[in-house]
Amino acid sequence: MASSSQASLLLQKQLKDLCKSPVDGFSAGLVDENNLFEWSVTIIGPPDTLYEGGFFNAIMTFPKDYPNSPPTVRFTSEIWHPNDGKVCISILHPPGDDPNGYELASERWSPVHTVESIVLSIISMLSSPNDESPANVEAAKEWRESRDQFRKRVSRCVRRSQEML
């Protein structure tokens, strides 16, 4: 199988498309010009959310058998969110049996997903956190129990992210 070259071709094509016609809400590029498998993505905090106005960096790492397996996404900016750190959303989970049993197969990874659809999913995750399977338990607890506290910490992250620019 020419899977590795299929992955390169597909990633190259997506990169070209995103440069030519950028999508609102994020910008994407390579971490290292010579490595198509590691992308640096900057997500702009979506309007009408706690994250509005923030600039959050994340690294997307693609496996050699992309698009048959999902990439991993990790936030490098500080972002106070129940699902921060290594981003844990259902479409980034490999298909097949869900070990925890609460995600439908249709919500999970499928080769039709692109950088664009993944980032859009992450943006929607920012506005509606999934506190049922949190990566950051502390943030999830705060989000659920003391929303004001949570709001303050997010604002601090947003401000810091703007200062970093």
Partner 1 sequence: MDSDEDLLDAYDGDSAEDYYYSGGDSDVDDYIAGGDEDEDDGGDCGYASDDDSTLRSEKVYTVLKVSDIQQRQEESISHVSSVLSISRVAACVLLCHYKWNVSQLHDEWFADEEKVRRTVGLLSRPVVQFPNAKELTCGICFESHPLDQIHSAVCGHPYCTTCWKGYITTSINDGPGCLLLRCPDPSCRASVGQDMILKLASDEDKEKYSRYFVRSYIEDKKKTKWCPAPGCENAVEFELGSNIYDVTCLCSHGFCWNCTEEAHRPVDCGTVSKWILKNSAESENMNWILANSKPCPKCKRPIEKNQGCMHMTCTPPCKFEFCWLCLGAWSDHGERTGGFYACNRYEAAKQEGLYDEAERRREMAKNSLERYTHYYERWASNQTSRQKAIADLHQMQTVHLEKLSDKLKEPESQLKFVIEAWQQIIECRRVLKWTYAYGYYLPEHEHAKKQLFEYLQGEAEAGLERLHQCAEKELLVFLGDDEPQADFKTFRPKLAGLTRVTRSYFENLVRALENGLSDVNTQPACSTSISSKNADGAGKGKGGKGKGSTSRSGRNAARDGDDDDHWNCDRCTYANPDSVSSCQMCHNER
Residues that bind partner 1 (CB under 8 A): 1-3, 6, 9-10, 13, 65, 67-69, 91, 94-97, 105-108, 110-113
Distances in Å between the Cα of 164 and the Cα atoms of 47, 56, 156 are 20, 10, 12
Nearer to partner 1, 36 or 158 (CB): 36
Closer by beta carbon to partner 1, 105 or else 137: 105
Rg of the chain in Å (alpha carbons) = 16
Looking at the Cβ atoms of 27 and 68, the one nearer to partner 1 is 68
Query: Is-contact 122 57, C-beta < 8 A?
Result: no
In the complex, the smallest distance separating the C-beta of residue 120 from partner 1, rounded to whole angstroms, is 13
Instruction: Tally the C-alpha atoms within 13 A of residue 93's C-alpha that lie toward its C-beta.
Output: 18
Min dist. Cβ of residue 148 to partner 1 (A):
36
Residue 146 C-alpha from the chain's centroid: 25
H-type helices in 45-146, by residue range? 115-127, 137-145
| Catalytic residue chosen out of the listed positions 88, 119, 125, 158 | 88
Pairing relation of β-strands 55-61 and 38-44? antiparallel
Sequence-separated (6 or more) residues with CB below 8 Å from residue 8: 36
Q: Smaller CB distance to partner 1: residue 73 or 157?
A: 73
Q: Any catalytic annotation for residue 88?
A: yes
* Least separation in angstroms between CB 109 and partner 1: 9
CB of residue 100 to partner 1, shortest distance in Å: 16
Residues 6+ away with beta carbon under 8 Å from 150: 50, 80, 139, 142, 143
Active-site positions? 88
